[in-house]
């Protein structure tokens, strides 16, 4: 309990070493937040916007999606044997990571990539 989408994406990108500065390095005092909508300004300033995508061939592992309306974020992980999805996400009180069901175009998501 307590895992959420923004916290999961933040920890995955920082702890893996892929993007240690994501979401202000996870430091609350610098502006980090577990809320997806609060992470969006960092992504806009520090990542490349891919806009909307329609195919997983347009994505690379580590790409992050934001759904503005629902305040949700998730990430593309690609094909991982036994995982069940090319998307990983988390929701409050559910297992993190979980095989995401959001899809690539869920709610008109905007995707971002590490520069």
Q: How far, CA to CA in Å, does 18 sit from each of 12, 26, 68, 88, 109?
A: 8, 13, 24, 15, 22
Q: With residue 63 as reference, give the H or E element that holds it.
A: none
Within a 10 A sphere around the Cβ of 15, how many other Cβ atoms? 10
C-alpha span between 14 and 16 (Å, rounded): 6
Q: How confident is the model at residue 101 (pLDDT cuts 50, 70, 90)?
A: confident
* pTM greater than the 0.85 cutoff: yes
Residue with tokens 């909508």: 37
Q: How confident is the model at residue 98 (pLDDT cuts 50, 70, 90)?
A: confident
pLDDT in tens, 31-60: 999 888 889 999 999 999 999 999 999 999
Q: How high is the pLDDT of residue 68? A: 78
Contact 62/19 with Cβ under 8 angstroms?
A: yes
Contact 19/108 with Cβ under 8 angstroms?
A: no
Phi, psi of 60 (to 5 degrees): -130, 150
């Amino acid at each position: 309990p307590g895992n959420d989408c923004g916290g999961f994406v933040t920890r995955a990108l920082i702890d893996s070493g892929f993007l240690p500065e994501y979401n202000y390095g996870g430091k609350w005092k610098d502006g980090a937040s577990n809320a997806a909508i609060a992470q969006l300004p960092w992504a806009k300033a520090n990542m490349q916007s891919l806009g909307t995508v329609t195919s997983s061939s347009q994505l690379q592992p580590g790409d992050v999606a934001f759904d503005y309306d629902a305040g949700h974020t998730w990430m593309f992980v690609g094909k991982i044997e036994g995982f069940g999805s090319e998307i990983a996400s988390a929701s409050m009180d559910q297992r993190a990571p979980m095989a995401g069901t959001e899809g690539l175009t869920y709610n008109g998501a905007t995707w971002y990539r590490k520069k």
